[in-house]
A and B are shown apart, each in its own frame.
Chain A
Amino acid sequence: MIFLKWFLTKSWRHAIAWAVCFFALFPLYMIVLTSFKKTTSLQVGSFLPTGFSLTNFNSLLTNPTVPFYTWMSNSVIIAAFVSVVSVFIGAASAFAFSRLRFRGKKASIQLLLLIQMFPAVLALSAVYSIMDRVHAFAPSIGLGTIGGLVLVYLGGAMGVNIWLLKGFVDSIPIELDEAARVDGASPMQIYWRIFLPLASPVLAVVCLLSFIGTFNEYILASLFLNDPSQQTIAVGLHGFISGQFATNWGPFAAGSLLASLPIVVLFLSLQKYIVNGLTAGAVKG
């Protein structure tokens, strides 16, 4: 009797959950399977395990023409730097928009919103020629350098997740600010002493989302960085499968597994906070 009741009320739920889990896991299973295949497999094909080997990892990590660690560290450095700085800039802007009075506030927030909607990919040629000119006199931050790419990514820092941050600033009771102001604190002090410490959890989440977003960026990185030792992991791994005659899915799968694992772990462990951020309107790339 209990079983029947369970069957009627819960079993369909489990059936749907199983089906969706299968859908969700299928590509991930293929990545794991392909990366542990014996031969450096050319395709993501058969889905039955044929044995276990680390051939693909070996060919990825020991091949001198494939600077996997460099790609990985490039990606991590770029994404970390961009996410921290852009969250910092974004937080300052959100604070000012939320708590300070100034003329033209409405106009400037509308302008910021409008500019953010321009499809960034299409301004590429202009960005490209600007950075080409910068390269002529400052080779370390121009075209083809990680520094230059970071600067371009930071161009949109002001608008990054400004909704989420603004929403958070609004949720901090204004009485705190007022109390601090009565005690003689300047806006700068309120920002540093009150806002930033209170906001640090939400800033960490925005930072993580921005990190993942930058990590996922492909087109700018592929146009900007030509030297293999400067490339990011996304661009580097894409090289494995974009060759016209040779596609190496084995090492590619191994590489994407290694590259994704830290992010997936980070994401899952912080999921509670991230979900709160998502419902408030944050964006993950």
Chain B
Amino acid sequence: MRLLKGIKIAVILKIVLVTIALAVLGFLMQAALLAGDTQIGIFFGIAIFLIALVYFTRISIPLKFFLPGVLLLATFVITPVVYTISMSAYQYKTGNILSKPEALKMLKSNDAFAQVPDEKKFDLKLGWCDEKYGDPKDVANAPVCALVSYYPDNIYFLSTATTLTPLTRDRIIFNKVGLPADVTKVGAKFTWEPFYEDEYATFDKTIASTRFKYSKPGTFMQAEGYSVMAVYAQRIVYDAKADTFTDIKTGFVYKDNGRGNYANTKNGKDVMYPGWREVVWFENFVNLVNDPSVRDPLVAVFIWTCIFAVTTVVTQFALGLLIALTLHTKMRGRWIYRSIIILPYAMPSIMSIMIWGGMLNTDFGAVNNLIGLIVGHPVHLTWLTDPTLARTSVLLVNLWLGFPYFYLISTGALQAIPAELTEAAAIDGASGGQTFRKITLPLLMQMLSPLLISSFAFNFNNFNLIYLLTGGGPKDTLSGQSAGATDILISYTYNLAFNKGTQNFGLASAVSIVIFVAVAAISLYGIRRSKVLESFV
């Protein structure tokens, strides 16, 4: 009776909650499996098993605390991170998005055939053929039958996907403008019947996909709209055994180059599109180092990212500390100053960034108006479109956003420094400046360095600010610049991956890993310094 012994409200509540969670997950698993998504279905299955195991047995008490967090972490952080890391080993960009079977299918259907340029364009009238070609009442299986004609040369024939029937001119009934409209019947026998108006729409797909027979071997006809027929010929032939394409006209052979494309064996640069995503191992990383068009912008962006993050932390900290020292004494109105100074920090940063964007406008912005008022004549500083000014703007706005935080923590730290220390220094004859440099500042740095490092790491990846204020720009796209003047690594990489024009997921993933390593190194250094990890274990 051990099971019943401990029953209390808490236990009942636990059983109810866990059961509800299991039921919801079970329902989702069923839905996923029914929809054919086995991977996700299995994932739910594992989650259900783990939840039941952890909460209904005593297998591990820590897991009872961790499991909800771990499941969410695994789904929405670890899986995407692993996916992103694995993508860095792929040729995976615009033109190489599909899987190989998908790409092959498209190459075979879209690319394998081309219009024969020196062939005639025929007049076309769509309809149904007589019972010899199929029962016209059985519309689902009836072959569409085209009445094809070339009036100047007196050519008339009926064509389906499989048959070709030449007609003589006297069988053709012409309409008012002189185009063939119908075919006379021989005796009472039904031969050809034109489409009714509504049938064009109904059989639209059939018409578009039918390859009508044509007299020359290796060619076929395809309808262009409803009234023109064009001749197509095979351009490339796929050899399934060798997995190659051959261009009939030029004789070039296109072979799987192992990098996601069929490439001309004579000229590796001549590749067929679409390609597919293919494992290229460390090529993306090698490109980061070797390819100047990738490396140079990346190095520039990396340098600016470091400058941006360092300058931000230094200016924010300097201003915050200055205010903290200024107000670190009894003075009238201190709490008013304090309340005003922390306002920028209390304000949701996203709103502040956007309003700053408006204030920095060249022609109407408040910043230019204010400067104009001070200097006495209107100024038109291009805050967001000139590279140097844009960088200044980004730093200025970030200073505004962050200095109250440093004011707050510096004040806290100043209060934590025992007054005895500074008093002792004063008794020993140290000046105010000496006391600050020799006692206060070292103590402050010791207390605040972990926060400075974490602030550096945060600003290293301060996506919102860059994305919403300048979008990484200004960028000279005409001269082929791929990185803007204010682009930091994360916004640059975001553009690589999600740009509207060309996207390069493989390269973006490689850069992500570089960022990851950089930030991890900085943060681990910070954690080591602050010894916070030691207290954890």
Which of A19-27, A50-58, A198-206 lies at the interface? A19-27
CB contacts (< 8 Å) of B83 on chain A: these are: 123, 126
Q: Tell me if B369 and A13 are in contact (CB < 8 A).
A: no
> Is A43 a contact of B365 with CB atoms below 8 Å?
yes
In the complex formed, the residue of B with least CB distance to A111 is B78
Number of residues of chain B lying within 8 A (CB) of chain A = 104
Which residue on chain B has the smallest CB distance to residue A105? B537
Assess the B329–A133 pair: CB atoms within 8 A. Answer: no
B 499-537 contacts with A by CB, 8 A: 505, 508-509, 512, 515-516, 519-520, 523-524, 527, 532-533, 535-537
Q: Which of B31, B70, B365 contacts A44 (CB 8 A)?
A: B365
Q: Which residues of the other chain, B, contact A228 by a CB distance below 8 angstroms?
A: none
* CB pair A216 B349 closer than 8 Å: yes
Q: Enumerate chain B residues within 8 angstroms of A187, measured Cβ to Cβ.
A: 61
Determine whether the beta carbon of B37 is less than 8 Å from that of A158. Answer: no
**B392 at the A/B interface (Cβ < 8 Å)?**
no
User: A278 in the interface, Cβ–Cβ < 8 Å?
Assistant: yes
Residues of chain A lying within 8 A (CB to CB) of residue B515: 119, 122
Question: A268 an interface residue at 8 Å Cβ cutoff?
Answer: yes
CA distance A93 to B457 in the complex (A): 23
Whether B37 lies near A238 (C-beta < 8 A) is no
Please, which residues of chain B bring their CB within 8 A of the CB of A212?
348
CB contact between A123 and one of B80, B350, B527, B535 (< 8 Å): that residue: B80
What's the least CB distance linking A191 to chain B, in Å?
A: 7
* One of B76, B319, B498 near A154 (C-beta < 8 A): B76
Contact with A along B66-91 (1 / 0, CB 8 A): 10111011011111110110010000
B47 at the interface (CB under 8 A from A): no
Contact in complex: A21, B413 (CB < 8 Å)? no
Q: How far is the CB of B81 from chain A (nearest CB, A)?
A: 5
Q: Say which residue of B68, B349, B366 sits within 8 Å of A47 (CB atoms).
A: B366
Q: Is B200 located at the chain interface by the 8 A CB criterion?
A: no
A123–B355 contact, CB under 8 A?
no
CA distance A252 to B357 in the complex (A): 12
Q: Is the CB of A181 closer than 8 A to any CB of chain B?
A: no
Asked if B31 contacts A188 (CB within 8 A), the reply is no
B351 in contact with A14 (CB, 8 Å): no
Contact A238 B354 (CB under 8 A): yes
A234's closest neighbor in chain B, by CB? B350
Q: How far is the CB of A150 from chain B (nearest CB, A)?
A: 10
Task: Render A123-158 as a binary contact track against B, CB cut-off 8 A, 1 for contact.
Answer: 111110010011011100000000000011011111
* Interface locus among A60-68, A96-104, A172-180: A96-104
Residue contact A24 to B365, C-beta cutoff 8 Å: no
A62–B77 alpha-carbon span in the complex (Å): 40
Interface residues contributed by chain A, number (CB under 8 Å): 104
B77:A156 contact, CB within 8 angstroms: yes
In the complex, A46 has a CB within 8 A of chain B? yes
Among B115-123, B242-250, B421-429, B463-471, the stretch in contact with A: B463-471
A102-B60, A126-B84 known; A115 vs B523 contact (CB < 8 Å): no
A110 contact set on B, CB distance < 8 A: 533
Question: Which residue of A21, A27, A155 is within 8 Å of B400 (Cβ)?
Answer: A27
Whether A96 touches B65, Cβ cut-off 8 Å, given contacts A118-B77, A155-B76, is: yes
Question: Would you give 18 A-B contacts (Cβ < 8 Å), ordered by A?
Answer: A31-B355, A43-B364, A43-B365, A47-B366, A92-B69, A93-B69, A113-B533, A115-B73, A117-B523, A122-B490, A122-B512, A124-B497, A130-B76, A130-B79, A157-B72, A241-B358, A249-B358, A279-B451
Residues of B within 8 A of A (CB): 10, 28, 31-32, 34-35, 37, 40, 60-62, 64-66, 68-70, 72-73, 75-81, 83-84, 87, 319, 322-323, 326-327, 329, 331, 333, 337, 339-352, 354-359, 361, 363-366, 369-370, 400, 404-405, 408-409, 411-413, 450-451, 454, 457-458, 461, 463-464, 467-468, 490, 493-494, 497-498, 505, 508-509, 512, 515-516, 519-520, 523-524, 527, 532-533, 535-537
- By a beta-carbon cutoff of 8 Å, the part of chain A in contact with chain B is 10, 12-14, 16-17, 20-21, 23-28, 30-31, 34, 42-47, 89-90, 92-93, 95-98, 100, 102, 105-106, 109-110, 112-115, 117-127, 130, 133-134, 136-138, 151-152, 154-159, 163, 166, 170, 186-188, 191-192, 212, 215-219, 234, 237-238, 241, 247, 249, 252-253, 256, 259-260, 263-264, 267-268, 271, 275-276, 278-279, 281, 283-285
Top 6 closest A-B pairs, CB basis?
A155-B76, A158-B69, A43-B364, A126-B80, A44-B358, A123-B80
Knowing that A30-B355, A30-B358 touch, tell me 15 more A-B residue pairs with CB under 8 angstroms.
A12-B326, A24-B340, A44-B359, A45-B369, A92-B69, A96-B65, A115-B73, A119-B461, A123-B83, A125-B498, A159-B73, A256-B354, A264-B347, A278-B412, A279-B413
